[in-house]
Amino acid sequence: MAGFSDIIGHEQIIGHLKNAIALDKVSHAYIFNGPKLSGKMMLAEAFAMALQCEGEGTRPCLLCRSCKQAVDHNQPDIIYVSHEKPNTIGVDDIRTQINNDIVIKPYSSRYKVYIVDEAEKMNQQAQNALLKTIEEPPAYAVILLLTTNADSFLPTILSRCITLNLKVVKEDVIKSYLMKTYHIPDYQADVCAAFSQGNVGKAIQLASSEEFGELKASVLQLMKRLEDIDLYEMTAAVKQIAEYKLTVNDYFDLMMIWFRDVLYMKATNDVNGLIFKDEVYDIKKQAAKRSYQGIETIIRALETAKVRISANVNFDLVIELLLLTIKEN
């Protein structure tokens, strides 16, 4: 668990939460809405720690008894709501862990904070049970709902919560953070930052992932030799991509970055703006050979391939069509 100062980006949300504490205008219910790994838990935990902080000045102080307990995940008045079924938070989970517990006053703090991760998994009964508590909460109660999809909540819940939508973090902020914290070279940080699409958690995961390194190497190898592959060798190329079937969307995203680099190089001839800077020789070669229209056709074909894969169209057929489109353009 970390304080606000350890969180990368999300300055507006942090400012809002700090103001709520400073002005003593803390709401009883908040929704943290954003993609997986976007920082929802870090924000919720920092807010919970700040609410319970016993120190003076900047909160959380990270030094008082409550902050130290929170860091170790054993602060008795910060409660993590769990669920046994992997895909559902049921009515019993809400009743036993929130509704029946919330009537008991805080053990040692000003507030009782409930953190509900994956809150989009609450079924309708669970949401209705929670609604009763949100409508008439005790003065000390704060409920934090963390979700990838706030639209899955009942309108009555949405209307009684303050919704905080996590925005993407700028690529240059993520890049400098990765270089400073994970000591990776700038070209690797460039790829991780671009690929994460503003999601810090995903960028961190990529920076320390051997699998991502392998995936990237496979994509670059294929992109550089595809134009020289004969049609009878196409089956081997399809098989190469099929090895990454479970992460094929990541494979497509890396291909997308490659062709955006080719397009950028063709338009500007500026090496500094490339993501794959260390592949400049091959990117220049392809930029010279391909037309603007051809590159745009390939980018559209990649987007179509993603849609087809998610619609369970035959995998090998989708990949073969995509590779042929890339070869022809």
Task: Label residue 218 by pLDDT band (50, 70, 90).
Answer: confident
Range in 19-33, 101-115, 164-178 the model is least confident about = 164-178
Which has the higher per-residue pLDDT, 210 or 110?
110
Arithmetic mean of pLDDT, 118-138: 92
User: pLDDT class for 227, splitting at 50, 70, 90?
Assistant: confident
Please state the domain extents for the chain: 4-165, 209-328
**SS3 assignment for the chain:** CCCHHHCCCCHHHHHHHHHHHHCCCCCCEEEEECCCCCCHHHHHHHHHHHHHCCCCCCCCCCCCHHHHHHHCCCCCCEEEECCCCCCCECHHHHHHHHHCCCCCCCCCCCCEEEEECCHHHECHHHHHHHHHHHHCCCCCEEEEEEECCHHHCCHHHHHHCEEEECCCCCHHHHHHHHHHHHCCCHHHHHHHHHHHCCCHHHHHHHHCCHHHHHHHHHHHHHHHHHHHCCHHHHHHHHHHHHCCHHHHHHHHHHHHHHHHHHHHHHHHCCHHHCCCHHHHHHHHHHHHHCCHHHHHHHHHHHHHHHHHHHCCCCHHHHHHHHHHHHHHC
- Confidence (pTM): 0.73
Question: Distance (Å, rounded) from C-alpha 81 to C-alpha 92?
Answer: 11
pLDDT bin (cut points 50, 70, 90) of residue 68 is: very high
Burial 184-219 (b: 16+ CB within 10 A, else e): beeebbbbbbbbbebbbbbbbebbeeeebeebbebb
Residue 231 has pLDDT above 80, yes or no: no
Average pLDDT over residues 190-205: 84
Q: What's the pLDDT score for residue 12?
A: 93
pLDDT band at 298 (very low <50, low <70, confident <90, very high): very high
- Residue 219 pLDDT grade (very low, low, confident, very high; cuts 50, 70, 90): confident
Q: Domain spanning 4-165 has what CATH number?
A: 3.40.50.300
| Pairing mode of beta strands 112-116, 162-165 | unpaired
Least confident of 9-23, 67-81, 176-190, 221-235: 221-235
CA-based torsion, 191, 193, 194, 196: positive or negative: positive
Q: Is the pLDDT of residue 232 over 80?
A: no
Q: What value does the mean pLDDT take over residues 42-49?
A: 93
Least confidently predicted of 3-7, 10-14, 253-257: 3-7
Tell whether the model's pLDDT for residue 105 goes beyond 90. yes
Mean pLDDT of the chain: 88
pLDDT(51) > 90: yes
Asked whether the predicted pLDDT for residue 1 surpasses 70, the reply is: no
pLDDT at 209 over 80: no
pLDDT for res 216: 85
Q: Which one, of 272, 265, 42, 76, lies nearest residue 166 by Cα?
A: 42
Q: What is the mean predicted confidence (pLDDT) over 35-56?
A: 90
Range with the poorest average pLDDT among 60-64, 90-94, 180-184: 180-184
Q: In terms of residues, how long is the chain?
A: 329
Beta carbons of 4 and 123 less than 8 angstroms apart: no
Question: Average pLDDT, stretch 64-84?
Answer: 92
The tokens describing 47, both together, are: 């807010």
Name the residue type at position 299: I
Per-residue pLDDT, 13? 93
The confidence band for 327, taking pLDDT boundaries of 50, 70 and 90, is confident
Which CATH code, of 1.10.3720.10, 3.30.540.10, 3.50.50.60, 1.20.272.10, is assigned to 209-328?
1.20.272.10
